[in-house]
Amino acid sequence: MPCDLAPASLPPPMRFYEYESRRIVERAGIPVTDYGFAETADEARAAAGRIGGPTVIKSQVLTGGRMKAGGVKFADTPDEAAQHAEEILKLEIGGHMPAGVLVDPKAEVEQEYYAAVLWDGRAKRPMMLFSDMGGIDIEEVAEQHPDHVGRGHLSNLQPIPDFRAKEVVAAAGGLTGRELTRATPILARLAQLQRDYDMTLAEINPVARLADGSFVALDAHMEMEDEAVGRHKNMLSEIGVELEEPRETYEPSEFERNVKAIDEADHRGVIQGKDHGFDGDLGLVIGAGGGSLTLTDAIRSQGGRPANYAEIGGNPSVAKSKGLAMEVLKKDGVEKIAVMMSIVSNTRVDIVARGVIAACLELGKDPAETIAVFRIPGAWEEEGAKILGKYGIEFRDRGTSMWEAAGEAVEKVQGGG
Amino acid sequence: MSSAAGTFIEVVVEDSVAGDAELARKLEEVCPVDIFEATDSGVEVVAGNVDECVLCELCLDAAPDGAVVIKKLYDGTELRR
């Protein structure tokens, strides 16, 4: 389940391969079926031989759509498992080559369930979810069968009581008596795991009830808060995670790579830039105090189409401000930029003004034509206004709301003014 | 005289002190954005950094009165002691 409840302005979480998630779940005391991770066909054969019986060979990529792309295959013998592994290891899925394959037993499942604990960004607390309709998209279940989804929030500080997990499992319907008692520890341990390892999402889908009545995790998906990775080096090392390897879910664009390089080259302030999923014509140089998300939304609400997402703050240097603005202006189809920050900005107005004007000049553009709006309430406003005035740009302070500034920028792009 | 101008800022060190090695060292030390460099011949104004000037005036405090001038090219005013 995508963690759409988390604020979008946070850095992306660290994602784990399925085999790593399996190790995390296993470590937390949640039962799993025997499995093996293989980087070669021979290793897959050996794993299938050890497991015995029919197996499932799954590509280990940090993207979805494995089944459709041919990245999940069933094998009756170890040789067949090796053959499938060989094919899957060469198969690119969504631009990703697999890190290996997971060899899983083809379990005799009586029923599939769904269990998850995710960070609820609105409630600012973890939320447990359980459904007796596992193995399928939980959002679809929540929409079409809400009575089959149990939910419950947890405290950030208090110990996690088993009875809270039991209430959530019971609320999903379908489980009573001994089954309810057996399923409850899975959700309770998942909640503990989520807290212990700062997971923004800890999901097991499906949790399977096997023929013998036991419950096991068949597939797991974990996402760790990116800022927390450093705190969990020991655990990550124990499960074999190489922290140096990139974990992006998509190949960063040239714009994203360039902005990152500019940010890393200069310790002053911070800039970030993303354009994955953006195809608009209004470049954004925005930020401060959660302003990026608000301002991006404001541009969209005003009918505009952002060309990128950005964050700028912490008093960046002129060079860094200029670097971000130049990268935004170099994007295809971008003729104008909106330079905006929220009201709590302590970033110096004059420094950012110098940066964005210098970017325009270096690219041979008229700053007055290119900067659709400059709205930064903050330090050194007077000096900033003088610089902007010299280049024919009107300075907008807190007297202009973010909504109004966004509207002004959109109007200039759409009206060509 | 050692000076350099960017798009927004010009920094000038008067001739009378430009060759002063001790002042050059002090200016290099106090400037938070590396506008001054102490060289064998005294102080050099680093052209690539002048637009980074944050108008903190630490260089003015470190130098004798009138020896360093910060010119704000966007409004024609200047900072000096």
CB A70 within 8 A of CB A41: no
Contacts of A256 (CB under 8 A, 6+ apart): A273, A274, A275, A276
CA of A267: which chain B residue's CA is closest?
Answer: B33
**CATH number where A90 lies:** 3.30.1490.20
ipTM for the predicted complex comes to 0.97
CB contact under 8 A, B74 and A318: no
Q: Is residue A27 part of a domain?
A: yes
Number of domains composing chain B = 1
CB contact under 8 A, B74 and A387: yes
Q: Is residue A249 part of a domain?
A: no
Higher pLDDT, A416 or A68: A68
B76 touches chain A (CB under 8 A): no
Q: Is residue A116 part of a domain?
A: yes
Last residue of a domain, one of A207, A242, A277: A242
Q: What angle do CA A90, A95, A96 make, to 5 degrees?
A: 55
Please give the residue range of the domain that contains residue B18. 2-79
Phi, psi values for residue A232, rounded to 5°: -120, 30
Q: Which of B8, B52, B55 sits opposite A317 (nearest CB)?
A: B52
The CA distance from A308 to A334, in Å, is 10
Q: Is residue A248 part of a domain?
A: no
Contact residues, chain B, for A317 at CB < 8 Å:
33, 52
Per-residue pLDDT reduced to its tens digit, A205-245: 999 999 888 999 998 999 998 888 889 999 999 988 877 66
CB A77 within 8 A of CB A46: no
CB A108 within 8 A of CB A216: no
Q: Is the peptide bond before A206 cis (omega within 30 degrees of 0)?
A: yes
Average pLDDT, chain B: 96
**CATH number where A20 lies:** 3.30.470.20
Q: How far is A383 from chain B (nearest CA, A)?
A: 9
Higher pLDDT, A346 or A30: A30
**CATH number where B58 lies:** 3.30.70.20
Residue B32 DSSP SS3:
coil
Last residue of a domain, one of A45, A80, A106: A106
Spell out the SS3 assignment of chain A: CCCCCCCCCCCCCEECCHHHHHHHHHHCCCCECCCEEECCHHHHHHHHHHHCCCEEEEECCCCCCHHHHCCEEEECCHHHHHHHHHHHHCCCECCECCCCEEEEECCCEEEEEEEEEEEECCCCEEEEEEECCCCCCHHHHHHHCHHHEEEEECCCCCCCCHHHHHHHHHHCCCCCHHHHHHHHHHHHHHHHHHHHCCEEEEEEEEEEEECCCCEEECCEEEEECHHHHHHHHHHHHHCCCCCCCCCCCCCCCHHHHHHHHHHHCCCCCEEEEECCCCCCCEEEEEECCCHHHHHHHHHHHCCCCECCEEEEECCCCHHHHHHHHHHHHCCCCCCEEEEEECCCCCCEHHHHHHHHHHHHHHCCCCHHHHEEEEECCCECHHHHHHHHHHCCCCEECCCCCHHHHHHHHHHHHHHCC
Write the single-letter amino acid at B36. F
CB contact under 8 A, B8 and A319: no
pLDDT in tens, chain B (81 residues): 689 999 999 999 999 999 999 999 999 999 999 999 999 999 999 999 999 999 999 999 999 999 999 999 999 999 999
Last residue of a domain, one of A219, A242, A265: A242
Contact residues, chain A, for B51 at CB < 8 Å:
318, 354, 358
Q: What is the pLDDT of residue A290?
A: 76
B52 touches chain A (CB under 8 A): yes
The radius of gyration of chain A's CA atoms, rounded to the nearest angstrom, is 25
**CATH number where A313 lies:** 3.40.50.261
Question: Confidence band (pLDDT; 50, 70, 90) for A416?
Answer: low
Contact residues, chain B, for A350 at CB < 8 Å:
55
Number of domains composing chain A = 3
Same domain, A311 and A402: yes
Placement of tokens 């060509």 in the chain: A416
The pTM assigned to this predicted structure is 0.65
| Residue A213, Cβ density class (10 Å: 0-12 exposed, 13-18 middle, ≥19 buried) | exposed
Write the single-letter amino acid at A23. R
CB contact under 8 A, B51 and A354: yes
Same domain, A42 and A29: no
Give the A window 228-257 contacts with B, CB below 8 Å.
none
Q: Is residue A247 part of a domain?
A: no
Interface test with B, best of A266, A318, A322, A356 (most B CBs within 10 A): A318
Q: Which of A318, A383, A390 sits opposite B51 (nearest CB)?
A: A318
Same domain, A312 and A383: yes
Question: Confidence band (pLDDT; 50, 70, 90) for A277?
Answer: confident
Q: Is residue A219 part of a domain?
A: yes
CB contact under 8 A, B74 and A390: yes
The CA distance from A46 to A22, in Å, is 19
**Of the given ranges (A67-71, A187-191, A259-263), which has the lowest mean pLDDT?**
A67-71
| Residue A396, Cβ density class (10 Å: 0-12 exposed, 13-18 middle, ≥19 buried) | buried
Please give the residue range of the domain that contains residue A75. 34-106
CB contact under 8 A, A386 and B75: yes
Contact pairs from chain A to chain B, CB under 8 Å = 26
Q: Distance of alpha carbon A25 from its chain centroid, rounded?
A: 20
B51 touches chain A (CB under 8 A): yes
A267 touches chain B (CB under 8 A): no
Residue B45 DSSP SS3:
strand
Q: What is the pLDDT of residue A245?
A: 65
B14 touches chain A (CB under 8 A): no
Placement of tokens 């420094």 in the chain: A351
Same domain, A16 and A46: no
Please give the DSSP secondary-structure letter assigned to residue B8: S
Tell whether the model's pLDDT for residue A248 goes beyond 70: no
Same domain, A160 and A191: yes
Contact residues, chain B, for A354 at CB < 8 Å:
7-8, 51
